[in-house]
Amino acid sequence: MITIVVAMGLDNEIGADNQLLWHLPKDLKYFKETTTNHPIIMGRKTYESIGKPLPNRTNIVVSKRKDWFEEGILIVGSVKEAIKFAKKIDEEIFIIGGGNIYEQTMDLCDKLQVTLVKTNLKADVFFPKISMKIWNKTEEICYEKDEKNEFDFCFQTYERKEAL
Ligand SMILES: NC(=O)c1ccc[n+]([C@@H]2O[C@H](COP(=O)([O-])OP(=O)(O)OC[C@H]3O[C@@H](n4cnc5c(N)ncnc54)[C@H](OP(=O)(O)O)[C@@H]3O)[C@@H](O)[C@H]2O)c1
């Protein structure tokens, strides 16, 4: 099972200046619970934006850079290689971004775990359009903003139609 995990705004915006667009501790907690103990695959820019390996998960970072080494992460030269490695570790693999990696893996994954953030913000990276011809929304749980979470948001699950 390959699952994409993403938090996006109403216009599919996901990032600006190599940063996330919002502060939603509830979403970060959900992300941690979802991905802990499973391999996570990310692009080099997303890794740099996080700044360190995420604990209790095999961090697989895709990059074309040569002679790059960092403690605590596995660096691979292609998305295909990343998936090959991840499959050796676990049956559940999570793709955690960013935009570039999502575009290349959307057709390869079985499930989308989307946090839809109910806002429109200026961004320079976007998630691909989720086609209702291909995906079925199978779950949705919504929360209202509060003192710690600055926007209303919904946790949504999409599954591939032919897989149902
Ligand atoms: N809202 C969310 O859920 C979420 C999640 C993750 C990230 N983000 C945001 O997304 C933004 C970053 O996304 P991005 O699209 O700019 O970058 P990205 O997808 O994180 O990383 C792109 C980099 O990955 C490497 N790469 C991609 N495809 C490759 C391939 N086929 N073979 C080898 N290397 C490959 C390249 O690294 P090299 O240049 O080193 O070769 C490329 O520059 C940030 O703003 C971040 O905060 C948002």
Q: Which of ligand 1's atoms lies nearest the C-alpha of 99? A: 15
Residue nearest to atom 32 of ligand 1 (CA): 78
Of 88, 76, 80, nearest in space to 104 by CA: 80
Pocket test for ligand 1, best of 24, 63, 108 (most atoms within 8 A of CB): 63
Give me the count of residues in the chain: 164
- pLDDT in the model for residue 135: 97
Q: Are 19 and 126 in contact (CB under 8 A)?
A: no
* DSSP conformation letters of 45-96: HHHHHH-SPPTTS-EEEE---SS---TTEEEESSHHHHHHHHHHH-S-EEE-
Q: Which of ligand 1's atoms lies nearest the C-alpha of 8? A: 1
Here the CATH number for the domain that contains residue 135 is 3.40.430.10
Ligand 1 geometric centre to CA of 59 (Å): 14
Domain count for the chain, please give it: 1
Residue nearest to atom 22 of ligand 1 (CA): 43
Ligand 1 geometric centre to CA of 99 (Å): 6
Range of the structural domain that residue 9 is part of: 2-163
pLDDT values of the chain reduced to their tens digit, one per residue, 164 residues = 999 999 999 999 999 999 999 999 999 999 999 999 999 999 999 999 999 999 999 999 999 998 888 999 999 999 999 999 999 999 999 999 999 999 999 999 999 999 999 999 999 999 999 999 999 999 999 999 999 999 999 999 999 997 55
Ligand 1 geometric centre to CA of 47 (Å): 8
- pLDDT in the model for residue 163: 53
